[in-house]
Structure 1
Amino acid sequence: MSHAFRHGYVAADHAIELRDLPGWRSGRVGRFTVHRHPVTRWVTAANGSAEVAILGDAVDIDAGTADSAEIAQSVLSALTSGVDRAVRYVAYLGGRATVLLYRDGELVVVPDYAATQPVFWHHDASGTVFSSHAHLAGEVVGAPVNEPYRALMRQANEMKTKGTIYWPGIETPFIGVLPVLPNHVLRVRAGQTPRHERFYPFPDTTLERDPDRAFKVFSEVFSEHVRLLCTLSRHIGLSLTGGRDSRTTLAAAWPHLSPAFARTWTYLNVPAPTKVMADDAEAAARVAREYGLSHHLIDLHDKAPEDFAPMPAFEKDYFRTMRYTPQFRRLAVAYAEQLPPATIQLKSMVAEAGTGFYKKRSGVPDVGRLTYLYSPTPFGELPLVHSAFERFSAYSGLSVDAAGELDWHDLYYIECRMIKWGSLRMQECDLSHRTLMPFNSRGVIEALLGPDLEHRGDKQALTRFIAERGREQNRA
């Protein structure tokens, strides 16, 4: 089975050619044929007036179920009452999935909370295509490579730009291929250009400002989300560090883990780790022992790509999937070589959406401020970067008013950084095993967003959760 675009899909309202993707399966929703990798979870529901499809792993935290068929029926029931009601229901699902809603000749594509299973779309005279992978969408439609921004990414390296750098704004490696941003839907009607629309925050979205009450909500919702994710497989694994994000995940997961099948790990260059990485691995191993779990080291093989290619077929599929957007190739290869393929990884990314990634906050989300937050370096001042965020601003509609009771910085983190960087890290993991995010829940993050920024930045909710729910001894 090919690893290319693993856990992915591509959908079109017209005939398309899939090249060298053996075993892919097909289904239909409305006018769209959805082609999917053999391991991509797919469930549908329909009645006389509406259709629903779920691609991926969805869980219903409020209903306490991870049964995809049951969830699809609940989505269908909401959709029968109206698209807006269905979108709101889907918005509070956990897991990692894309939900398709079809009613009255319109298809509505809804990503998960942080679009950790992203959606990329393209429209031309032939029709509309959307996919989990920008490279698959670009490949299917024959879109030209976005050479100006590809050169810009090379320039970032040449300038030795510090910090995490990813394709800016809504730019992708292919001209005409665009992302569906978190908190937005894609609405598609025959013969019309698709509409990219914001749906969140809802007009009545409010946050709990009292830290104790907010913690109670967080503790309940997060615990239930993790419990449901753990029901998807007994082969649960956690990427564990000495930090509080992953330790919070472990504290929530441990009552539901089977020590015979569950595992934790830390990745590092085993022959010559840096002191920081070695200390982190030692701290993680100590925590794992307190939970009675086996802890493993994932060896990153600190060699140049041309000197290390033990899995040529995997490397080929990796290159096809991540050609212009590689994130952590060595880790992807190490996972493919060293992790059992049945593993479901609980990865603690997205936590910073709640604990506050941007600590210094000021101003309004104009192009200058958005560009600075993307990269406060000379690279961030380049004209192409500025142009990218002009397009992002128009496409996202991000503003103080649009943010409602939320701080726009928190929306920006999800709508720019997570979709353009975080989701790619997860897709690299997907090439060998499935990756799910316990913090990828609107209810979880809303509970963390309420208290003041100092409380959030200190990760007081996570510290308290570890102390109350975990098995650690005297850990700060």
Structure 2
Amino acid sequence: MMKDILEIAEKNPQYRHLLFSRGFLFTDAAVDATAFPFYGTWKEIGVCNYQLLVHPELNCYIAATSDITAVLIGHVYNPFDGLYNEKEILEKYLEAQDRLSYYNEWTGLFTLIVISDDRVEVFGDCAGMQSNWYACINAHFYLSSHAQLIGDICRLPQTDYAKKMQHYRFWKMYGVFFPGDISQFEDVFRLVPNHILSLSCAEHTCKLTRFYPFRDLEKVTSKEEYDRVISKIAEILHETMRLISEKWDHPSISMTGGMDSKTTLACANGLYDQFRYYSYISMYGDKPDADAAAKIADAIGVEHKTYVISENNEDFADLPIIRSILEHNLGDIGSVNDNDVRKRLYFLNTGAVSLEVKSWVSEIGRANYYKKFGFRKMPHRLSARQMTTMYKFFSYNRLSAHKTDKIFREYIQKTAFDAIYNFDASDMYLWEMRYGGWGGLKITAEHRISYDITIPYNNRLLMELFLRLPLEKRIADIPHYDVIRKMNPMIDRLGITVTNYNETERRMHCERIYYLVNTHLPF
């Protein structure tokens, strides 16, 4: 695998910039910035006693006081104080009496590194949409946006578990990613959302500490309180869209007929002339969303573009090369779908989008697993076997199921998953495991190869507001409907909602049967 990607990079220098696109590496090891995969094009910055290498299309900012240095990699804006300049935000962070509380206000895709004399602390964005992978190898610390980048630098082999899973019949079902916080390498781990990674400089040991949640949720119990929370959610999202419109030239809202996209669009009301609007059709399943998006755009009076992407691989030059690069960025842990490769190439070649406003993370507030299994009640706390069942479809492969159970038992202990107060365990699994694991990998290693992405919902305090709302309303998507009605009732009156073609009632019943059977099997 490593030999193949090295050969591709040597023979095709025009594509080297796609290797770990918009990625970074932070380490105390001596790394050759002129060699693969950097080739002298990444920004090289000395920070205290560390080397920081940053892809040319990713920004970083550094500020310091007398006792700490803060490094911000990626982009940040704050809908609670109206700031969108990272230098100003970083300076305010250093001046804050309660730095953690101020950090919790941030939206964006970012990594925050705080360096003191004896310790390095690392914080990710709300849902881990910019991935962070870390390792202590041969008395050196490595932190990167891509696990594979650490693997390449340290010449790490994949684990037997990783190799076995990739040959499992249902490996691609529910997405290609690993359980818990593990990677394809023995010593490389994922920084889980809502945790601080602490490195002891003297001992070269890493520790993961949960910092959120730190108290019980204040559940909404009255209509008056419900209306206030809906108004606050709408206010935060509208301010978020305003900041996006000021921070970037020509940001593009990716539109579908789904609930999350419609809520984003509604909250941009009053700012519609500041955005572009688009959908794409890269396979048959995309067309209902694209058609619905066009109808919604027409109704609210914005210009909408549907990009129709050829389904013929031969229409794209060097597609096998781009596929290999994408698969390597993702960790060489599985193939990328043809339509996804074509999609990335199409937007790379046309430059039609410079920044996508993407409506991911919103699902955390929509009681996703209650819908998936058709339940009205989920366990107060999740067992390792329940997490295994929610992670992947294991039928006859019981040895892999047992190994995955073991990984999740360690994950529950390592992340203090049982110490989540009165937060719904399935919501937190979606937030920290599904989005932090699969979602962050897809955004960081695949989607951002074509253009940069921002996610308005990727804000911890905003997600908390959604989770305060009554469960039965969240299962029925009523909060999202209410935000849409409040911000742009025209969108609601259209009555357009496109459900993912995987989310049918028949599939829900099958998922529920599997969940009930697999979680109760004694073997």
Distance verdict in 2 for CA 1:377–1:315, change over 3 Å: closer
5 Å-filtered alignment, 1:119-198, equals: 119-157=132-170, 162-164=173-175, 166-192=177-203, 193-198=205-210
- Cα offset for 1:374? 1.8
Distance 1:453 1:212 in 2: 15
What's the C-alpha RMSD, in Å, of the aligned pairs? 2.5
Distance 1:14 1:178 in 2: 18
Distance 2:17 2:173 in 1: 35
Q: Could you tell me which amino acid in structure 2 is paired with residue 321 of structure 1? A: N
Distance 2:447 2:384 in 1: 33
5 Å-filtered alignment, 1:197-212, equals: 197-203=209-215, 206-209=218-221, 210-212=225-227
Q: Which secondary structure state, in structure 1, belongs to the residue aligned with residue 45 of structure 2?
A: strand
Q: Could you tell me which amino acid in structure 2 is paired with residue 267 of structure 1? A: I
Q: 1:320 aligned to 2:328? A: yes
Q: Among 269, 277, 295, which residue is 1:263 paired with?
A: 277
Distance verdict in 2 for CA 1:374–1:20, change over 3 Å: closer
Residue 291 of structure 2 is matched in structure 1 by 282
Q: 1:350 aligned to 2:364? A: no
Q: Once the two structures are superposed, what CA deviation does each residue of 1:41-94 show, in whole Å capped at 9, x if it has no partner?
A: 11111122111111001112211110111001011113xx5xxx3233212211
Q: Among 458, 462, 481, which residue is 1:444 paired with?
A: 462
Q: Among 420, 433, 455, which residue is 2:451 paired with?
A: 433
Q: Could you tell me which amino acid in structure 2 is paired with residue 387 of structure 1? A: K
Does structure 2 conserve the Cα–Cα contact (< 8 Å) formed by 1:168 and 1:389? yes
Residue 436 of structure 2 is matched in structure 1 by 419
Residue 245 of structure 2 is matched in structure 1 by 230
Distance 1:446 1:379 in 2: 39
Does structure 2 conserve the Cα–Cα contact (< 8 Å) formed by 1:254 and 1:291? no
Q: Once the two structures are superposed, what CA deviation does each residue of 1:222-274 show, in whole Å capped at 9, x if it has no partner?
A: 22222222322122122211111101111222533446x613113332xxx25
- Cα offset for 1:29? 3.3
Residue 37 of structure 1 is matched in structure 2 by 55
Does structure 1 conserve the Cα–Cα contact (< 8 Å) formed by 2:231 and 2:483? no
- Cα offset for 1:132? 0.6
Distance 1:163 1:324 in 2: 14
Distance verdict in 2 for CA 1:143–1:165, change over 3 Å: closer
Q: Among 91, 95, 103, which residue is 1:90 paired with?
A: 103
Distance 1:93 1:438 in 2: 10
Q: Which secondary structure state, in structure 2, belongs to the residue aligned with residue 454 of structure 1?
A: helix
Q: 1:67 aligned to 2:82? A: no
Distance 1:282 1:157 in 2: 31
Does structure 2 conserve the Cα–Cα contact (< 8 Å) formed by 1:230 and 1:257? no
Mean Cα displacement is larger for which, 334-343 or 230-239? 334-343
Residue 394 of structure 1 is matched in structure 2 by 413
Distance 1:294 1:357 in 2: 32
Q: 1:11 aligned to 2:11? A: no
Distance 2:272 2:434 in 1: 31
Aligned residues: 460
Distance 2:317 2:60 in 1: 33
Distance 2:435 2:415 in 1: 14
- Cα offset for 1:220? 1.4
Q: 1:253 aligned to 2:268? A: yes
Distance verdict in 2 for CA 1:204–1:405, change over 3 Å: closer
- Cα offset for 1:316? 4.5
Q: 1:337 aligned to 2:346? A: yes
- Cα offset for 1:454? 1.3
Mean Cα displacement is larger for which, 106-115 or 149-158? 149-158
- Cα offset for 1:391? 2.4
Distance 2:451 2:264 in 1: 18
Distance 2:18 2:173 in 1: 32
Q: Once the two structures are superposed, what CA deviation does each residue of 1:338-379 show, in whole Å capped at 9, x if it has no partner?
A: 352661111111111011111131242221222222235427
Distance 1:243 1:171 in 2: 32
Q: Once the two structures are superposed, what CA deviation does each residue of 1:3-43 show, in whole Å capped at 9, x if it has no partner?
A: 11111101101212341323100223333221000011111
Does structure 2 conserve the Cα–Cα contact (< 8 Å) formed by 1:98 and 1:109? yes
Q: Could you tell me which amino acid in structure 2 is paired with residue 225 of structure 1? A: T
Does structure 1 conserve the Cα–Cα contact (< 8 Å) formed by 2:354 and 2:451? yes
Point out where structure 2 has 5 or more consecutive residues left out of the alignment: 1-15, 496-523
- Cα offset for 1:424? 2.0
Distance 2:181 2:78 in 1: 30
Distance verdict in 2 for CA 1:26–1:385, change over 3 Å: same
Distance verdict in 2 for CA 1:257–1:9, change over 3 Å: farther
Mean Cα displacement is larger for which, 30-39 or 316-325? 316-325
- Cα offset for 1:453? 1.4
Does structure 2 conserve the Cα–Cα contact (< 8 Å) formed by 1:238 and 1:347? yes
Does structure 1 conserve the Cα–Cα contact (< 8 Å) formed by 2:379 and 2:425? no
Q: 1:294 aligned to 2:303? A: yes
- Cα offset for 1:109? 0.4
